[in-house]
A and B are shown apart, each in its own frame.
Chain A
Amino acid sequence: MSYKQYMVSRALVVIILAALVAWGNASGNILVLIPGVIIALLIMLTLKRRVKEVIEDERVWSIAYRASRVAYVAFTILAVITGITLANLAGDASDIRFYIGLTLNYSACALVVFYWLAYIYYNKKLGGKQ
């Protein structure tokens, strides 16, 4: 499969998935979305493997690594600041802003924990000492 064929096939999968998500939301069949997304991801992975040309290399991975890092730091800082601000702006626990703030803060905490776990895993895998 050529790169062009891969791009066209991927676009088709995305369009079908978007239509499925729209239909699922409109009809209330949310459970259909889970296998739909999984199947779409599997199809995309299969398509990617069939491409004979090199479509990504170490430079692309390096860019992805840096972009992930920036996104991680930016989200964590913004979520913490916004979360604390919203939680403080809320008068009491019945205010929706309190729960939004709490959710954002817990999301930031979860992200930091996932990062920490992934860091430990890769540090061990790549031979670093604890």
Chain B
Amino acid sequence: MKITNFIRRLRFDHGEMTQEELAHRAGCTRQTIIALEQGRYVPSIELAFKIARAFGVPLEQVFHYEE
């Protein structure tokens, strides 16, 4: 079971949004965005929603749960 995400691709789709800008919008640090993109950290539901909101997409389009 693993939670993967499409943050890197979504940043690209949103005009190469910087990690710094995404972190600012989601209210977390840039290091957390880096850890998320590298798959080394699984966020809380709250942060996951904030990131999805920062991109303006539903949660399922950012995070994917693999069984």
Contacts and interface: CB of A to CB of B under 8 A. Distances in A.
Contacts of B31: 59
A59 to B, nearest CB: 4
Contacts of B23: 54
A55 B32 CA distance: 11
A58 B47 contact: yes
B35 interface: yes
Contact of A54 (B28, B41, B43, B44): B28
Contacts of B46: 58
A56 interface: yes
Question: Size range of the interface on B?
Answer: 10 to 19
B38 to A, nearest CB: 12
A57 interface: yes
Contacts, number: 27
B27 A57 contact: yes
Nearest to B47: A58
B29 interface: yes
Interface residues of A, number: 8
A20 to B, nearest CB: 32
B64 interface: no
B24 interface: yes
Nearest to A62: B41
Interface in A50-85: 54-60, 62
Interface of A: 54-60, 62
Given A58-B28, A59-B29, 16 more contacts: A54-B23, A54-B28, A55-B29, A57-B27, A57-B28, A57-B29, A58-B32, A58-B43, A58-B46, A58-B47, A59-B32, A59-B35, A59-B41, A59-B43, A60-B29, A62-B41
25 contacts: A54-B23, A54-B24, A54-B27, A54-B28, A54-B29, A55-B29, A56-B29, A57-B27, A57-B28, A57-B29, A57-B32, A57-B47, A58-B28, A58-B32, A58-B43, A58-B44, A58-B46, A58-B47, A59-B28, A59-B29, A59-B31, A59-B41, A59-B43, A60-B29, A62-B41
